A and B are shown apart, each in its own frame.
Chain A
Amino acid sequence: MTDAWIKPQITRRNVVLYLLAALGFVLVVIRFAGGIGRVSNLNDGYPWGFWIGLDILAGIALAAGGFIVAGMVHLFGARKYHVLARPAILTAFLGYLLFIIGLAIDLGRPWMIWQALFHWNHSSPMFEVSWCVTMYTTVLLMEFLPVVFERFGWKHLHDMWHNLVPWVIIGMLTLFTLAMSGSVGWTVVVFAILLAWEVSMRTGLMQRDAQMPTLLVMAGIIFSTLHQSSLGSLLLIIPHKLHPLWFTQAIPIFFLLSAVMIGVGMVIFENIISARVHDRKPDTHLLAGFARALPYLLGLYLLLKVGDIFRTGAAEYLFMFNSVAIGMWLELVVGVLIPLVLFMTPETRESERWLLWGSIFVVAGGIINRLNTVITGVVVANWAPYHPSWMEVAISLGVLSGGILVLDFIVRNFSVFEDRHALAR
């Protein structure tokens, strides 16, 4: 592949994205010059709000497609979905980069982030999330690198990558275990297990995937499982603030399960949309096959969530007329019930249009759920309620628009959707 670069262009279709990105950029400058209070309605009673909800909780769930598809294709042997893998990995990687930008805007002193590497606090879910996310972003970068090597025809780098990545992963997971448990015992166990797999693959005792180092895919699944659920654990420390409809000891499980739903929905959504933008025909049949998992996931979620609401005795709140009840109904109906029906029905599942709509519902419902969990559901006694300011929203939209523009550029210039694996051995 030695084609010339396709430069980014401002067109009628994407001018809005450029405008939003520019506006966001100006507001971010104001925020860094004058403090978070200049642009947001966050306050001492509501220190977390729209940014955490959208950029972090929702954003990371939206990017869950990366580990799901990589795992399915390169580990669970569902190879027919391999065309979905690259776009999913790329979106996830960009998604995590956007998340890091979003986090940097929300953190008061983002330049101190390295402190988390040295002051270990095993009891803090935030500590775990920050480690996992750093590690997983590195994993995604490594998963995406072959596309770059292909673009420039760097065969020897690709071979080197294939050779080195497993060792890097062993190092990362071992260090991670030490940081999380503070125990040498656990660390040694994890190290030994990973080493055993890698050695059996190198000695030919165990077969390996031709394209992706198995340990790399494993690490992606492990880190994702952990932090997708821990994002929910963040809220376990506020039983006194989070409304009982959302507060439950099982919140990490709900976050993980819904991240998988949202991730799958996002893969479908993104494939159809980017096919339309780039004037291709989406492989509806393949996507419909992929979507077959959704009714099970959505059904399970609905069952567990409703069951849990009754278990914790929060059901009475469902039948009141207030913003909390409306919020919960909205996320369940939009994000779970409607798509459940759409994806269960073969006729709608096989049609491009309804696939798109179904995935939009899943994704929208997921975003509503995350926003509810940190905004609608959080009630601080004796404090005026929080509503995001237009500038908070504009900053998030600006970051997102910038991300979409970068994604578009990469898709046009690298073989993301073709999946040629030109250099694979």
Chain B
Amino acid sequence: MKAMLIDTTRCVGCRGCQVACKQWNGLPAEETVFFGGPGYQNPRDLSGKTWTLITYNEAQVGDHYDWVYGKLQCMHCQEPACAASCPTSAMEKLPEGPVVYHPNQCLGCRYCMLACPFQVIRFDWFSANPYVSKCTMCADRVLSGQEPACVKACPTDALVFGDREVLIAEAHHRIEDNPRKYVHHVFGEHEVGGTCVLHLSTVPFELLGYRSDLPEKSLRRWTEPAMKPIPYIVVALSLALGGVAWIVNRRDKRLVEKWTKQVKEMQ
């Protein structure tokens, strides 16, 4: 399975990846506004037009304050909650790694957005024919053997693409080689069952806006026990209710027979 490693310590915040993403996926420009908070970040958040975003975070690094960059995008979970929840299978996990979206199947129920642990799916709130949108890991490129557009564009090799196991090993190497530089955790290795986008950072991941309290189990582990018993319930209820009907109706018939007999005897 393919994956992507984001080493935020190598990122210089050039946002070349953001632009490359727009170019490859044909996404329109964003009308941006000034906003309070994280200084040079632009635009403020992911949207239907922006599928990946470099976040600008001010954090204490060693003894000084510095910019620390993060990259927001779909994490391409190994067992995606979005795909597990979609009633029409409009979200699909490809064996190659990408989680892709089939817009024609989408009802716009937004259950995937509720389910996504990383909060990366966006909805066309002001459209009469709305879709959701998110990063596709450039599935079209990946399936033809190329790397995603953002990886291709990155000038500092902060983004690299490859087999998931290889990248995990590489990430651990980097931590071992430079234990003071990195937080000793590969974000995405185990989170919600593991993701195909892995992060390394020099500051605690919460400071980059990542959730550090996510479970290691895939979120499906909670829905599965509720879905599995369905056929058992259908069979059990079909048997039990039929049995009840049998007993009740026989009882009623006997009662009626008894009454008719009594009435006859009285006459």
Contacts and interface: CB of A to CB of B under 8 A. Distances in A.
Tell me if A's interface is mostly helix, strand, loop or mixed.
helix
A34 B128 contact: yes
Interface in A63-95: 75-77, 79
Contacts of A44: 45-46, 113, 119, 121-123, 125
A257 to B, nearest CB: 15
B114 interface: yes
A346 interface: no
Interface string B113-135: 11101010111111111110000
Contact of A42 (B83, B89, B122, B125): B125
A75 B248 CA distance: 7
A121 B84 CA distance: 8
Contact of B107 (A75, A108, A240): A108
Interface string B94-126: 000000000011111111011101010111111
A119 B124 CA distance: 23
Given A124-B87, A173-B238, A180 B249 contact: no
A240 B87 contact: no
B181 interface: no
A193 B223 contact: no
Contacts of B105: 112, 115, 119
B251 to A, nearest CB: 7
Nearest to B120: A44
Interface stretch (A221-229, A259-267, A293-301): A221-229
A237 B224 contact: no
Contacts of B242: 193, 197, 214, 218
Interface string A183-224: 100100110011001000000001111000010011001100
Interface string B121-154: 1111111111100000000000000000000000
Interface string B188-217: 000000000000000000000101011100
B215 A126 contact: no
Given A208-B249, A239-B219, A119 B237 contact: no
B234 A190 contact: yes
Contacts of A230: 226
B158 interface: no
A383 B227 CA distance: 30
Interface in A92-124: 106-110, 112-113, 115-116, 118-124
A108 B90 CA distance: 14
B234 A75 contact: no
Nearest to B222: A236
Contacts of A380: 119
Which residue of B86, B87, B248, B249 has the most chain A CB atoms within 10 A of its CB atom?
A: B87
Which residue of B85, B130, B234 has the most chain A CB atoms within 10 A of its CB atom?
A: B234
A112 B106 contact: yes
B223 A115 contact: no
Q: What class of interface size applies to chain B in its complex with A?
A: 35 or more
Given A123-B224, A126-B87, A222-B241, A107 B249 contact: no
B238 A193 contact: yes
B109 A127 contact: no
A107 B106 CA distance: 10
Contacts of A108: 106-110, 123-124, 129-131
A77 B248 contact: yes
Contact of B248 (A76, A249, A381): A76
A124 B84 contact: yes
A207 B87 CA distance: 40
Interface string A168-184: 00000100110011010
A180 B231 contact: yes
Nearest to B214: A240
A241 interface: yes
A35 B125 contact: yes
B81 interface: yes
A43 interface: yes
B224 to A, nearest CB: 7
Contacts of B113: 44, 47
Contact of A121 (B46, B88, B104): B88
B227 A122 contact: yes
A338 B211 CA distance: 40
A125 B226 contact: yes
B210 to A, nearest CB: 10
A238 to B, nearest CB: 6
A183 B85 CA distance: 20
Which residue of B106, B107, B214 has the most chain A CB atoms within 10 A of its CB atom?
A: B107
Contacts of B65: none
A107 B237 contact: no
A252 B84 contact: no
A326 interface: no
Contact of A38 (B85, B123, B126): B126
B122 A218 contact: no
Which residue of B86, B130, B245 has the most chain A CB atoms within 10 A of its CB atom?
A: B245
A106 B125 CA distance: 11
Contacts of B111: 48, 124, 126, 234
Contact of B251 (A77, A107, A241): A77
Given A109-B106, A237-B219, 10 more contacts: A44-B119, A107-B108, A112-B106, A115-B107, A177-B234, A194-B238, A207-B246, A222-B233, A222-B234, A381-B119
24 contacts: A34-B126, A45-B119, A47-B114, A48-B114, A77-B248, A109-B106, A109-B108, A109-B130, A113-B107, A115-B90, A121-B86, A123-B227, A124-B86, A124-B227, A127-B88, A129-B87, A130-B87, A189-B235, A190-B238, A209-B245, A209-B249, A237-B114, A237-B220, A252-B226
Interface of A: 32-38, 42-45, 47-48, 75-77, 79, 106-110, 112-113, 115-116, 118-130, 173, 176-177, 180-181, 183, 186, 189-190, 193-194, 197, 206-209, 214, 217-218, 221-222, 225-226, 229-230, 233-234, 236-241, 249, 252, 380-383
Which 3 pairs, one residue from A and one from B, show the smallest C-beta to C-beta distance? A108-B108, A37-B125, A207-B249
